[in-house]
Amino acid sequence: MEFIGESVEQALEKARQYFGSDELEYEVISEKRGLLRNEVVIKAWVVSPESVAEQLVTALLKAMGKTGSVHAEQMDDQLHISVDGEDLGILIGKHGSFLDTFEGFVRYIIRVRFPEIAHVDVDVMNYKQKRIRQLEDMVEQSVQKTKRTKRPATLPPMLRWERREVHRIVSEKYPAFESKSTGYDPNRRVQIFLKTAGNSGEREEGSKGSSTNNAKSGEREDE
């Protein structure tokens, strides 16, 4: 939203009145100075997790010599950030390793500024969405194997967000099964096994059948 005043402060005051908030950020669009009257045009917006995230990620891209379209969306206590553009593979890295580090850095800054945000997710060129489809196939194969053998199936080592997704998939799609994480990074992995009367409630982390979203299912390793 743009606001006009004879000075930056006057334009800002109009913005404060419009938004009903003093927590604003702005950029000067134009300044015209005349003998009788000055005119300043600013673009102002309310400080929010979305605006801070978009500015932060855009600045990080610029520092890396990259450009891209950054969009952030908040849903309750969760913040999703999507980055699109060309030649952004460096932000993903081998098997998503750099993306995991990049996301952790962004998450830390956002949660220092906005403690109410419980979960921050960053996706680059829909990499995570494509990876989730692979994880769904992997879980399906493991579930079928466990059905046949009656023994737990152990998946390959995964990043934190991938393990959370596996726990979510098991919880939402396979009610007769449970999952838990074992081992230590970088070799931490997920086991999938049939539910039994004796193991209910024994899991410190993993799927328990009551999760409804990414941030509240599986292990809370980003907390």
pLDDT digits (tens, 9 = 90+) for 62-71: 999 999 999 9
The answer to whether the CB of 180 falls within 8 A of the CB of 218 is no
Range name among 55-59, 87-91, 200-204 with the lowest pLDDT average: 200-204
pLDDT band at 37 (very low <50, low <70, confident <90, very high): confident
Domain assignments of the chain as residue spans, ordered by start: 2-46, 49-125, 128-216
Neighbour-count burial of 130, counting CB atoms closer than 10 A to its CB (0-12 exposed, 13-18 middle, 19+ buried)? exposed
The answer to whether the CB of 92 falls within 8 A of the CB of 64 is no
Count the alpha carbons within 13 Å of 143 in the hemisphere toward its beta carbon.
19
Fold of the 49-125 domain: GMP Synthetase; Chain A, domain 3 (3.30.300)
Residue type for position 29: I
d(CA 28, CA 3): 10
CATH (residue range 128-216): 3.30.1370.50
DSSP secondary-structure letter at 212? Answer: -
CA-based nearest residue to 59, from 92, 96, 105, 28? 105
- For residue 165, the tally of other CB atoms under 10 A from its CB is 22
pLDDT band at 205 (very low <50, low <70, confident <90, very high): very low
pLDDT, tens digit, 9 for 90 and up, residues 156-193: 999 999 999 999 999 999 999 999 999 998 899 999 99
Q: What is the pTM of this model?
A: 0.71
pLDDT band at 207 (very low <50, low <70, confident <90, very high): low
Residue type for position 187: N
